[in-house]
């Protein structure tokens, strides 16, 4: 892979002197969806698929970006003093531009242009965080190229800030944190309210994690993501008139049921219910995993999907078809949508001997009902960003 990237870099930018090659993973969230901006817990892990970059300082005041995934777009060049979001002009390059813009608001300055070639093997717009992977990759590469001090947690926070302020998507911290802090064969049990976290070994023994990409493209900024966040914020404000809390994640199911009517809007009650119940499911799921109870973990995954479907309404026919078909296949321990929803991916834990049957059954049903094919990835849990 490294040789292929350097070869392409030389073709696009000329020469490979002083080039360095970096990698940042994608991520999948096993359980804890739409809880990260509600002060709850999440349970993601980094993957061994992700985004690669070849980078070097170019001695100019212009950054030049090129993607092997979007070769028809050519080189995107922008002056360091003119880093402003433009969806049409810069497209995918807005993500690294946003990170550099945030870095230049701090003492850590990217004070020289860079040439930046990227290649990702995460399905684009799949919900496996190709954008967060690119953001963390950019921050990590800039740290190494320019030699400034920055922890991996700070890289995650800066990447989230780029997404919030530069791209305009009001995302939580989960994606960037999971990618920056990834650890092989471990998921991260993260309290998004405090950033307190612990690694939990994923020991599936006779089962595998299978990700199914619906191939329905989704973009967070264009989806109802910000709308859902706003609905939860409104619900929280109503609850705060009767209970002193900072986030929905502070409530358990019983407390929520006792005060939910103060919200006064049926839709917002359901949105808040999902945030509260999903947070508690995540805590229970990690406890089950620690106890070696993979059956309960799977049941909580299933319950998570139903809540995302009925209360949060972010699934859609594509994801529901995959998950509901998954539940009929022998050897499926649990299955749910993962990511923001409105398309993207599902995640399932499937016994080894049933993986082929799972892919065939779900694939055939999906193609027949939706009219185009889904893609399947049997994945492994990997580390965070690194230099190759």
Query: How confident is residue 144, by pLDDT bands cut at 50, 70 and 90?
Result: very high
Annotation: CATH topology of 203-379: Alpha-Beta Plaits (3.30.70)
Mean pLDDT of the chain: 94
Phi, psi of 345 (to 5 degrees): -125, 165
Looking at residue 220, its pLDDT comes to: 52
Mean pLDDT of 335-347: 91
* Model confidence at 221: pLDDT above 70: no
* Model confidence at 222: pLDDT above 70: no
Each domain of the chain, given as residue ranges in start order, spans: 2-200, 203-379
* Catalytic residue status for 175: yes
Looking at residue 373, its pLDDT comes to: 96
Mean pLDDT of 112-130: 84
Closest by alpha carbon to 379, among 255, 147, 210, 220? 210
pLDDT digits (tens, 9 = 90+) for 282-296: 999 999 999 999 999
pLDDT digits (tens, 9 = 90+) for 12-59: 999 999 999 999 999 999 999 999 899 999 999 999 999 999 999 999
* Model confidence at 151: pLDDT above 80: yes
Query: How far, in Å, are 47, 129, 211, 369 from residue 289 at the CA level?
Result: 19, 24, 19, 34
Query: How far, in Å, are 20, 52, 126, 177, 302 from residue 98 at the CA level?
Result: 21, 18, 21, 17, 36
Q: How far apart are CA 160 and CA 309, in angstroms?
A: 26
* Model confidence at 108: pLDDT above 80: no
Closest by alpha carbon to 281, among 46, 38, 27, 35? 35
Looking at residue 110, its pLDDT comes to: 92
Looking at residue 384, its pLDDT comes to: 97
* 78-89: burial string, b at 16+ Cβ within 10 Å, e else: bebeebeeeeee
Find the largest Cα–Cα distance for the chain: 66
- Between 166 and 130, the higher pLDDT residue: 166
Q: How far apart are CA 206 and CA 152, in angstroms?
A: 33
Q: How far apart are CA 135 and CA 24, in angstroms?
A: 9
Contact 122, 26 (CB under 8 A): yes
Q: Which of 114-123, 166-175, 229-238, 366-375 has the lowest mean pLDDT?
A: 166-175
Q: How far apart are CA 325 and CA 64, in angstroms?
A: 45
* Model confidence at 165: pLDDT above 90: yes
Mean pLDDT of 173-202: 94
Looking at residue 170, its pLDDT comes to: 82
Closest by alpha carbon to 39, among 197, 284, 251, 260? 251
346: three-class secondary structure by DSSP = strand
Task: Indicate the pairing of strand 76-79 with strand 44-57.
Answer: unpaired
pTM of the predicted protein model = 0.90
185: three-class secondary structure by DSSP = coil
pLDDT digits (tens, 9 = 90+) for 275-325: 999 999 999 999 999 999 999 999 999 999 999 999 999 999 999 999 999
Contact 336, 347 (CB under 8 A): yes
Contact 192, 317 (CB under 8 A): no
Task: Indicate the pairing of strand 386-387 with strand 20-29.
Answer: antiparallel
Whole-number percent of the chain with pLDDT over 70 = 97
Task: Indicate the pairing of strand 114-120 with strand 62-67.
Answer: parallel
Looking at residue 340, its pLDDT comes to: 84
Annotation: CATH topology of 2-200: Ribosomal Protein S5; domain 2 (3.30.230)
Catalytic residue among 36, 175, 191, 311: 175
163: three-class secondary structure by DSSP = helix
Q: How far apart are CA 28 and CA 33, in angstroms?
A: 11
Distance from chain centroid for Cα 84? 24
Query: How far, in Å, are 86, 197, 270 from residue 282 at the CA level?
Result: 37, 13, 18
* Model confidence at 3: pLDDT above 60: yes
Looking at residue 171, its pLDDT comes to: 83
Q: Which of 58-62, 63-67, 128-132, 258-262 has the lowest mean pLDDT?
A: 128-132
Give the alpha-carbon dihedral of 122, 128, 134, 139, to 10 degrees.
Answer: -140
Q: What is the DSSP string of 243-279?
A: S--SSGGG--HHHHHHHGGGG--HHHHHHHHHHHHHH
SS3 content of the chain, % helix, strand, coil (to 5): 45, 20, 30
* Half-sphere exposure (Cβ direction) of 111: Cα atoms closer than 13 Å: 7
Looking at residue 169, its pLDDT comes to: 85
352: three-class secondary structure by DSSP = helix
If you search the block for the tokens 């612990």, which residue do you land on? 198
């Amino acid at each position: 892979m490294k040789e292929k990237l350097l070869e392409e870099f030389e073709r696009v930018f000329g020469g490979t002197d002083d080039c360095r090659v970096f990698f940042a993973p994608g991520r999948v969230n096993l359980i804890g969806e739409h809880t990260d901006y509600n002060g709850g817990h999440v349970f993601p892990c980094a993957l061994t698929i992700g985004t690669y970059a070849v980078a070097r300082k170019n001695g100019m005041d212009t950054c030049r970006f090129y993607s092997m995934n979007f070769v028809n777009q050519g080189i995107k060049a922008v002056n360091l003093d003119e880093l402003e979001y433009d969806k049409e002009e810069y497209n995918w390059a807005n993500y690294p531009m946003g990170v550099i813009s945030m870095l230049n608001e701090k003492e850590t300055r990217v004070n020289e242009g860079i040439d930046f070639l990227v290649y990702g093997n995460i399905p684009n717009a799949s919900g496996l965080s190709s954008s967060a992977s690119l953001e963390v990759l950019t921050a990590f590469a800039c740290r190494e190229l320019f030699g400034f001090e920055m922890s991996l947690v700070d890289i995650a926070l800066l990447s989230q800030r780029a997404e919030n302020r530069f791209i305009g998507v009001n995302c939580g911290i989960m994606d960037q944190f999971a990618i920056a802090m990834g650890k092989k064969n471990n998921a991260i049990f993260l309290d998004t309210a405090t950033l307190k976290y612990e690694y939990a070994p994923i020991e599936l023994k006779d089962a595998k994690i299978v990700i199914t990409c619906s191939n329905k493209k989704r973009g967070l900024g264009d989806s109802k993501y910000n709308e859902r966040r706003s609905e939860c914020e409104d619900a929280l404000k109503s609850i705060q008139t009767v209970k002193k809390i900072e986030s929905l994640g502070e409530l358990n199911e019983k407390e929520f049921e006792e005060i939910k009517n103060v919200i006064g809007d049926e839709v917002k009650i359901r949105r808040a219910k999902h945030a509260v119940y999903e947070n508690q499911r995540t805590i229970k799921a990690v406890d089950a995993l620690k106890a070696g109870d993979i059956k309960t973990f799977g049941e909580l995954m299933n319950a998570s999907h139903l809540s995302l479907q009925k209360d949060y309404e972010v699934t859609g026919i594509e994801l529901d078809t995959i998950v509901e078909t998954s539940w009929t296949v022998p050897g499926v321990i649990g299955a749910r949508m993962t990511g923001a929803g409105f398309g993207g991916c599902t995640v399932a834990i499937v016994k080894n001997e049933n993986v082929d049957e799972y892919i065939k059954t779900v694939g055939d049903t999906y193609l027949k009902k939706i009219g185009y094919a889904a893609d399947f990835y049997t994945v492994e849990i990997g580390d965070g960003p690194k230099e190759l």
